[in-house]
Amino acid sequence: MAAATLTTLDRALLGIIDRGRASGYDIHRLFSATPMAVFSSSPGSIYPALARLERRGLLRARLDSATEARPRRVYSITRQGVAALEAWLREPVTREELVRDARLPVLRFSLAERRLTRAQAISYLEGYRRALADYGKELESYLEQLEGGEELHPALALRSGIDGFRCQARWVDHAIADLERAEAEER
Amino acid sequence: MAAATLTTLDRALLGIIDRGRASGYDIHRLFSATPMAVFSSSPGSIYPALARLERRGLLRARLDSATEARPRRVYSITRQGVAALEAWLREPVTREELVRDARLPVLRFSLAERRLTRAQAISYLEGYRRALADYGKELESYLEQLEGGEELHPALALRSGIDGFRCQARWVDHAIADLERAEAEER
DNA sequence: TCTATCATGTAAAGGGTTACATGATTCT
DNA sequence: AGAATCATGTAACCCTTTACATGATAGA
């Protein structure tokens, strides 16, 4: 029952289906038509992942044989699925997450709207900004070592990563401002 | 013989060993001590990958039993390995590569110094900048669709990706300037 | 002495990719 | 009539992750 381990694809599927029930094909289309493609790609990973999540009780399938020739399995999220998703969305961004895959924090944010209040989303982003700043500093001190060497490419590549983090930090500022504006308008 | 398919880790290992012979442990330390950690991590992936590359004739191992109790397997790159590495380094950056993993183009660049002339590196970066601009435009037109909706997070997340690409494009400009300066000094 | 680190791996489990299979419906 | 697309999957292969194993040497 306890969600042993979930892959990024698993969590992405939970987040997508949390926004509205969907079939494997719906998700496949979503991945091929939108920048969500970074999550994954092929039916060969999506269908088994959906079946896994159903076995673990995080998704529930309903057969839609009325409209289609071949029965569509339409998935919706269960209470356990929501719990697993929320646990993931509430985890603070860590240095380890940035190292493992720097896109994950934003991917998580993109799926969090239904499950986090504006205030919670803002503090999530503040945590992200802190993680960016900390890891960025670490990379800068490593860059100083590299710049002594005679190779140009590795230092430039590292500089690219550092610039990217700085850029993300600026994005965080704008995103927080947008969320605050939205919250003010909602009152 | 023909390198059926190489994983990113395989190519990273080729690139690293191309810069100088190294043992599995050397590489493990490199990955845990530097931002190269994005490549991989655990001995459980590194050692099998090295053994694979040796079997395929892209690396060659020499036993260093003189100095150590346990024999160190020190790898160096073969002519075939150099060929495979160069083929990879010379591939132009495509939209597909950006979708699959946006860090790859810079990772490739970081390993290219020995195998590309300054001029070749510059034209590689120009190709990267074009790919960034093209894919960035695509994302922007998708963003316009999203901004009509009532959800805030997905549009913000996409904006984050677009900002990141813009930032990378600026990095490319600086990197090219640095390479040109280096080339001028080398003459 | 015992802990950490050097240095090498192996074993089990499980996920992802690629390619294939199936059959109905809609478009040209 | 034929091609593309809807819509579901399965199978084989291989890689990665996690955890464990081994044994020597250096430092507390």
Phi-psi region of B52 (alpha: psi -120 to 50; beta: other; left: phi over 0): alpha
* B110 pLDDT higher than 90: yes
- Are the beta carbons of B34 and A142 separated by less than 8 Å? yes
* The residue to which tokens 């704008």 are assigned: A174
- Is the pLDDT at B139 greater than 90? The verdict is yes
pLDDT at A20 over 60: yes
Statement: the CB of B58 is under 7 Å from strand D: no
Distance in angstroms (rounded) separating the CA atoms of residues B16 and B99 = 24
Asked if B107 and B91 count as a contact pair (C-beta separation under 8 A), the reply is no
At A30, is the secondary structure helix, strand, or coil? Answer: helix
**Of A42 and A169, which is predicted with more confidence?**
A169
Decide: CB of B70 under 7 A of nucleic strand C: yes
Strand C nucleotides within a 7 Å radius of protein CB atoms = 6-12, 15-21, 23-25
Q: What is the C-alpha to C-alpha distance for residues B135 and B121, in angstroms, rounded to an integer?
A: 21
* Chain B residues in contact with A154 (beta carbon < 8 A): 110, 113
Whose CA is closest to A165, among A88, A106, A113, A124?
A106
What's the pLDDT at A63? 84
> Phi, psi at residue A62, to the nearest 5°?
-125, 140
Tell me the C-alpha distance between B125 and B75, whole Å.
Answer: 30
> Which is nearest to A12 in space by CA: A72, A62, A76, A85?
A85
Contacting residues for B44 by C-beta, under 8 A, at least 6 apart = none
State the best of A171, A173, A180, A181 to mutate against chain B, taking most chain B CBs within 10 Å: A171
Which pLDDT band holds residue B149 (cuts at 50, 70, 90)?
Answer: confident
Per the model's pLDDT, the better-predicted residue between B150 and B123 turns out to be B123
Nearest to A160 by CA among B129, B117, B95: B129
- Whether B66 CB is under 7 Å from strand D: no
Q: Which residues of B touch A102 (CB under 8 A)?
A: 103
Whether the beta carbon of B154 falls within 7 A of nucleic chain D: the reply is no
Q: Which of A161, A158, A132 lies closest to A145 in space, CA to CA?
A: A158
- How many Å apart are B70 CA and D25 C1'? 11
Residue closest to C16, CA→C1'?
A45
Give the C-alpha distances (Å, rounded to integers) separating B113 from A151, B86, B123: 7, 11, 13
**pLDDT of the residue at A42:** 86
A52 Cα to chain B: minimum distance (Å): 24
**Pairwise CA distance, residues B117 & B81, whole Å:** 19
pLDDT above 90 for A2: no
Q: Which residue is nearest to nucleotide D11 (CA to C1')?
A: A44
C-alpha radius of gyration, chain B, whole number: 20
pLDDT single digits (tens) B46-103: 999 999 999 999 999 988 765 555 678 899 999 999 999 999 999 999 998 998 889 9
In angstroms, what CA-CA distances link B63 with B22, B132, B159?
A: 11, 44, 52
- Check if residue A138 sits with its Cβ under 7 angstroms from strand D: no
The pLDDT mean for chain A works out to 91
* Cα angle value B136/B142/B147 (rounded, 5°): 120
Q: Do B175 and A164 touch (CB under 8 A)?
A: no
pLDDT at A38: 83
Task: Say which residue the tokens 């010379």 belong to.
Answer: B90
Minimum-distance CB partner of B179 among A113, A152, A163: A152
Instruction: Please name the residues in contact with A148: beta carbons below 8 A apart, sequence gap of 6 or more.
Output: none
Total H helices, total E strands in chain B:
8, 3
Cα gap A54→A72, rounded to integer Å: 15
* Residue A37 pLDDT class (50, 70, 90 cuts): confident
Structure tokens at B140: 């922007």
